[in-house]
Each structure stands twice: as C-alpha cells, then as structure tokens.
Structure 1
Amino acid sequence: MVMPYTLHAEQALLEVVPERGGLITRWRWHEHELLYLDRERFAHPELSVRGGIPLLFPICGNLPDDLFHYGGRAYTLKQHGFARDMPWHVLDQQADRLCLGLSDSDATRQVYPFAFRLTLTYRLRANVLAISLEVANPADTPLPFSFGLHPYFAVTDKTQLSFDLPVHAMVDQKTQQPLTFAGTFDWGAAELDLACRPLQGQRAQVCDHQQQYCLTLRYDLAFTTLVFWTLQGKPYYCLEPWTAPRNALNTGVDLLQVPPQSHTTLGVEIAVAATNAPQ
C-alpha cells in the first residue's frame, strides 16, 4: 500500500502519491473535500486512475488509433500519455510544498522518442493550490509536447453549479459537432466531453451553490483549451486546462516545442473561496 505525502496550509490539506503518477489524491479545504477519487480503481494499479488530479504528458486526449509518426516511424502512445501512470521521485518536501521529478527512460522512448526532464512542484496555500511543471530538453533536437491537468472536482448536485468560462464556442469530442456555450450544460446527457476553444482569457470559474464555494482556475497563456467532461450519475465534473487539443502531436496545432538544451515552465493555480467572498 502506497502512503501519500501530505501538505498543510492553515485549514487546507493536500495528499499526493508520487508512485502513482504524481497524483494528487485529496484536497481538503475547511470541511470540504474538493476532489473525487474512485478508491476501488485506485487500489488496482493496472487500472487508469479515475479521480484526483491526473497529469497529462506528453499528450492531452488521444491520437487516432493511438499512433503518431516521427522520423519515418510510427509510435503507439495511449490516451493522455504516460506521466499519469509512472512513478515520480521526490526531489524536495516542505510543509506546504512538494517537488517531484520524472525523466525519459527506455520504456518512454519506446512510445515517445524524446529525451526530457520534468520537475513538478505543488504548492499549497490557505485558499490556493499552485501547480507548475518545468519541461527541460537535454537533447540536441526540439522536444514537442502537450501538457494538461485532469482534475476531478467533487459535486453532489450538478444542477447547483454555475459557470463563468472564457469561451463562446466548443466542440463535442465524441461527435465533433460544434456547439455554442450559453452558460450551462445539458445534465440529461449520458456523457459530456466538450473541448472549449478558442479561449478568451486565462480565468475560469465554477461555483457550487449547494456547497457554497467557488473554484477559480488561472492558467498561463500556453493553455489554449479547456475540456469539460462528466458522466451522468457520477459525483464529479472535470474542468481540464490543456496546452493543446487532441492529436496535436500529429497536427501541430498549439503543440509546444522546447528548443535543444533549454527548458520551459507552465503554471496553473486553482483557488477556492466561499460563494459570498470576493473572487
């Protein structure tokens, strides 16, 4: 049984399991459990985790037939990449901060033929969770990638959610049908899998009026897409900042590139506040 690393900040608590993809498994704020976690699936490492905040690298979403082509070869890369399934190692821990690392290996190069060094930092404050990822390229060729977060936010009654999203247009990722965002979602649908882009700003907010708190996501300019995903009857919704849409490794759309012998850093902050507090 893996034991989580725990961060504390005033009336907030964060639990992280580096061995399971650097996964945040719990975020408690005052009396509220902000994240959903399917603990039965989590108990079986062969299953993909459903819950917490999985990390998406080096792709977000899936590739057609799980394939991309590079250097005259075809590579098989599964949905959302491999970072969420690999053990990260702990670089540093403080009371309110945890720093993790992940580097390329023989296994990663079989599916993604690039050298990389990732440094992930979680910082917990009273009302804010800050997540930053440094992507370093030690090689002599450019490093192409996408990065995203897949937070599973806990909810009891989705009809009590209200949204302030910086988008007017979205695409149903199942049907590819373009849609217009009018401020709410069809909770009668069996599944909602919506890619929201282009983004009109670097802030998105969801208020849970039953639980009386709001979550505000702020993300760097590199994040070009928000994905909203949920299943009917499940006590969670996902609002996912991605740096690129699905299949960017093949299409090049919004694909990030780290130059040789260089690095870049990406950041997301999630703030929580009572609904009657200034946002």
Structure 2
Amino acid sequence: MEFSIENEHIRASFVSKGAELQHITGVDSGTEYLWKGDPNYWGKFSPVLFPIIGALKENIYHYEDRTYTLPRHGFARDMEFDVERISDHEILFTLRNTEETLKVYPFKFILKLRYKLTAATLSCTYEVSNPDLKEMLFSIGGHPAFAAPLNKQGSYTDYFLAFNADEVITYHHITENLISDETTTLVLDDKMLYLTHETFYSDALVIKNLKSNSVSLMNKKNYNGINFKFENFPYFGIWAAKDADFICLEPWCGIADSLDHNQQLKDKEGIITLAPSGEWQRTWKVTCF
C-alpha cells in the first residue's frame, strides 16, 4: 500500500514494503525531488539498510560459534512494515523480528522509521529498540536517491554537491563489494563536487572521515535543489548507478566488511552494540527548495 503525508510546502509518499520513501514533491511547483525508480538503472528510491550496511565477506558472519548468511544491506528493505501511526504531517512504520529473521540474524529487535514534515523539510528518524535480555549488534543507514536534473532542466553535469565543511574528501575503493585500504583524495572546488556519471563507474565513494554534516545538491541553471543534513553518522556514501540521473546521499552507522575482516560480527567495523532494553536513534533531514 502507498501512504502520503502533506503540508503546504511538500508532499511525501511511502510504501509499507521496506517503509520506503517513494516521492518528495513540491506542492505548488510539482517538482519531484526523488529519483523515479527506473528499474533499467536501479529500481529503488530510498531503502533502509538494516541490520547490516553493504556486503559481508563471502556473505557470511560468525556469532557465538554459529555462522549466518545475510544479503547485501540486510533484510529490512524487503520486509513489510506495519503502519503504527499516520497523521497529516507524520507517519510511523514498525518492523519486529520474526522466526525467519532470527534464522539469519539472532537478535530480537524493534525497528521504527518515523517520517515527519516541518515546513519544506522531511525528516527520517531511525529508532532501534532491543527488547531482549542480551546485547544486540546492528548497523543501520539511509540510501535516498535524489533526481539530477530536476524537472528535466539542464543535464547531470550541471549539478554539484556543496559540502558545508570539507575542502577535500578521501574515499575508500570498493573491491568485490568490500572496503579496501586503497583510497583516492578529491580536492573540491570551493567545497563543491561537480557530478559526472564517470565518477561512479567503479561503485560508490565511501567516506570514513567526512567533516561535513550537511550536503546540498544544487545546479548552475536555477535555484532548485535540496539540502541534506545528517548528525552523528560516522560513515557516508555517495553513489549513482551507471549513467543514471540521480545521486544517492547515504548516511551510515556501519559499513561493509573490509577485505581482511575476520567475519566475526562483534569485530565488524562500525557495529553498534545496544544494551538489553536499550533504545537508539539517528535522524537525517532533507529540505527542498
């Protein structure tokens, strides 16, 4: 099912599968800020990555002397969430562990995605609760894809990312879906990274040391764009499918396995440990203009 929330500035729509954001649309302008989800390039819009981010080495991990298998980015994006609450300006989705999830991920959990509209801003809050009597290990992150160009005005190369704090960015290369120690440093043009399709031909730019907590997607043709704000996400990914007209801005609490990882979940880089009965949350926001 599709659900919508709306105020005088923007309208946002979602589906219960993956609690996935599908559209962000300007009420007056009709501008669609989110990628159109063309399956010829990439058929998703804004999946949630849980309980892992990226790929596991050999698609497996070890925990308490047992071996488990999880697909890249985990299972939440392909599961049906319950709509716990909906109002004009807010919607709350909930996912709980099942017998099937416990076979591949031996932790009880409650995962909530809370979307809220405030003026021209949509916020997405991840709320994770541990209802068990043992510690819970997890990673979580966002993968929203924004349209470039907007309204078919201009071309992909008219668009750029403006960082609020970084003058250079250093990203890790991806080898067979895993994080390598090889890095490339890009010197930004007055804190701006101009988009080219070729930039992403070798996969995402995975950044471990980003200083910025805000990135704006803007263009040289008009004043339309978005500001994307994120706090306390230690990793950040930037990605687009080959020759597709979108850019993913991905705040992560967690990261794919490294090439030399020992495959022990407790030793996984960026893994979060949540105490019994503990609660955890992070929020990203997108403001449209």
When normalised by structure 2's length, the TM-score is 0.84
Question: Which residue number corresponds to residue 100 of structure 1?
Answer: 93
Q: Unaligned 5+ residue runs, structure 2?
A: 150-154, 259-264
Residues 14 and 77 (structure 1 numbering): CA distance in 2 closer, same or farther, change over 3 Å? same
Candidates 1, 12, 15, aligned match of 1:14: 12
- Asked if 1:202 corresponds to 2:213, the answer is yes
Measure how far apart 1:252 and its partner are: 3.0
Question: Which residue number corresponds to residue 157 of structure 2?
Answer: 159
Question: Which residue number corresponds to residue 271 of structure 2?
Answer: 255
1:53 aligned partner, one-letter code: S
Rounded Cα–Cα distance in structure 1 between residues aligned with 2:184 and 2:141: 22
Candidates 67, 76, 88, aligned match of 1:74: 67
- Asked if 1:36 corresponds to 2:20, the answer is no
2:35 aligned partner, one-letter code: Y
| Runs of 4 or more above 4 Å deviation | none
Rounded Cα–Cα distance in structure 1 between residues aligned with 2:202 and 2:24: 25
Candidates 267, 271, 279, aligned match of 2:283: 267
- Asked if 1:109 corresponds to 2:102, the answer is yes
Q: How many residues align?
A: 263
Rounded Cα–Cα distance in structure 2 between residues aligned with 1:257 and 1:50: 32
Equivalent pair of 1:21/1:55 in contact (CA under 8 Å): yes
Question: Which residue number corresponds to residue 137 of structure 1?
Answer: 130
Equivalent pair of 1:10/1:125 in contact (CA under 8 Å): no
Question: Which residue number corresponds to residue 171 of structure 1?
Answer: 172
1:219 aligned partner, one-letter code: F
Measure how far apart 1:39 and its partner are: 5.4
Question: Which residue number corresponds to residue 218 of structure 1?
Answer: 229
Rounded Cα–Cα distance in structure 2 between residues aligned with 1:25 and 1:112: 27
Question: Which residue number corresponds to residue 46 of structure 1?
Answer: none
- Asked if 1:228 corresponds to 2:213, the answer is no
Rounded Cα–Cα distance in structure 2 between residues aligned with 1:90 and 1:66: 31
Rounded Cα–Cα distance in structure 1 between residues aligned with 2:267 and 2:288: 36
Per-residue CA shift, 1:7-28, capped at 9, x if unaligned?
Answer: 101131111101x111111111
**More displaced, 90-99 or 157-166?**
157-166
Measure how far apart 1:187 and its partner are: 3.3
Rounded Cα–Cα distance in structure 1 between residues aligned with 2:147 and 2:114: 23
Equivalent pair of 1:35/1:51 in contact (CA under 8 Å): no
What percentage of aligned pairs have identical amino acids? 24
Rounded Cα–Cα distance in structure 2 between residues aligned with 1:219 and 1:239: 10
Equivalent pair of 1:174/1:193 in contact (CA under 8 Å): no
Measure how far apart 1:186 and its partner are: 5.0
Measure how far apart 1:40 and its partner are: 5.3
Measure how far apart 1:250 and its partner are: 5.8
Question: Which residue number corresponds to residue 84 of structure 1?
Answer: 77
Question: Which residue number corresponds to residue 45 of structure 1?
Answer: none
Rounded Cα–Cα distance in structure 1 between residues aligned with 2:49 and 2:222: 28
Rounded Cα–Cα distance in structure 1 between residues aligned with 2:7 and 2:283: 20
Q: Unaligned 5+ residue runs, structure 1?
A: 42-48, 274-279
Rounded Cα–Cα distance in structure 2 between residues aligned with 1:208 and 1:63: 36
Residues 50 and 40 (structure 1 numbering): CA distance in 2 closer, same or farther, change over 3 Å? closer
When normalised by structure 1's length, the TM-score is 0.87
Question: Which residue number corresponds to residue 198 of structure 2?
Answer: 188
Measure how far apart 1:164 and its partner are: 2.4
Measure how far apart 1:213 and its partner are: 2.1
Equivalent pair of 2:157/2:196 in contact (CA under 8 Å): no
